[in-house]
A = this chain, B = another copy of it.
Amino acid sequence: MADSEFTRTAPVSGFPEWLPEVRMVELRWLDRIREKFESYGFAPIETPAAETLSALLKKGETSQEVYTLHRLQDDSGGEAKLGLHFDLTVPFARYVAQHLNDLTFPFKRYQIQKVWRGERPQEGRFREFTQCDIDVINPDHVPLHFDAEVLRIASEVLTELEIGQFVLRVNNRKVLEGFYRGLGVPDPVAVIRVMDKLDKLAAEQIERMLVDQLGLTDGQAKSCLRLAELRGGDAPSVLRAVRDLGVNDELLDEGLEELAYVLDALRDLPPGVVEADLSIARGLDYYTGTVYEGTFTEFPKYGSICSGGRYADLAGAFTRRSLPGVGVSIGLTRIFAKLLTEGRLPVGPKCPTQVLVVVPGQDTQAATAVAAVLRGRGINTEVFHQTAKLAKQLRYAIGKGIPYVWFPPFHDDAQHEVKALATEEQVPADPTVWLP
């Protein structure tokens, strides 16, 4: 394998792939996520990997990350240029605009797919990765009920996947915008954009930027930073702390009411899982109300593992119909790869087989028959693939991590036996009732 002719079997950087035993765990994760989404009535959609480039770039912000597609021997010229989707929001917007008349609203959809970004790979950043998105959209108005529901679902998903301790931070853009406006700041949205850098820059740098670049007074800048320090899971305490900063504004009131609603609706969740964090801004102008951001408690520097929020219009680039919504996106590959790297993923056997039926002699008929019975009862079963010494057949089971070996009867009077390889215990068994 050192031969240079074969070096191209190396993995492509940023495109992760797993051994079968790891892929089996990932598939179980995907199953659980899907089950959870469906348990709340979210319907599945899947969109093509490729969209027209013009659709992908309607928002215009991420052009450098897009992979475009070209045919190796393109002789047509006239076709629309295509690119791979870099998130699931743009394809969802295009999908909704296109199928508007065939959807029933409020439309609750989930979408679990690969996305591609031509970024430089680094820890936690991939060129191909799986996102798990849920969104609720409805023409003109989406009840606040869903702001709490999508966050509850994210919390339940992350808990069931046993990813370790995590925190889902929630805030509301109206609180920020209203607070800054109430302070008398000239351009509240510009302040949000600066405050969004708080996770990367020191508080003093932020303060200086607010004063020097945006013309805030020292007092205004300090108030902005004091707001960003507030957090906690108890709605009344958080609201009191904001009020204590002495700013009054209608939009602020509205935002605080919404924030309190979400916290209150989720107060039955385990303590610490969901908390208000008044520093969360989510820089994009896209979001207009509730915003979320989830992180590993243990690996705070690893960055966001899930995020989302409420937006005023999903598909403005594609249809005149106003479609507000709220959604959350779980970064499956980011989470999975981190736990794998940290040795926190309980990786099991190399194949899904539960029972290996050994072939005792030349005749495979008895083995094939019992395998069919077990399979028919939902037990994953292999028949050993040739006549071979028993020791070789057992070695195969051990090598693949198959937990049980089945011995069909050698002759008419003999009975079936099954051996658990973990305990070495071998007992008679009836294939029509036996359970692993």
Contact = CB atoms under 8 A, between A and B. Distances in A.
Interface of A: 1, 3, 6, 8-12, 15-21, 23-24, 26-27, 34, 38-55, 63-74, 80, 82-84, 94-95, 97-100, 102-104, 106, 108-109, 114, 116, 118, 128, 136, 143, 145-146, 149, 318-320, 350-353, 356, 364, 375, 378-383, 385-386, 396, 399-400, 402
B12 A24 contact: no
Contact of A24 (B44, B48, B146, B382): B44
Contacts of A399: 104
Nearest to A51: B12
Nearest to A114: B49
Given A20-B45, A39-B380, A380-B41, A351 B108 contact: yes
Contacts of A63: 72-73
State the majority secondary structure of interface residues on A: mixed
Contacts of A46: 17-18, 23, 26
A382 B152 CA distance: 13
A160 to B, nearest CB: 12
Contacts of A34: 27
Contacts of A319: 1, 6, 9
B39 A145 contact: no
Contact of A48 (B12, B118, B320): B12
Given A40-B382, A49-B49, A399-B104, A66 B72 contact: yes
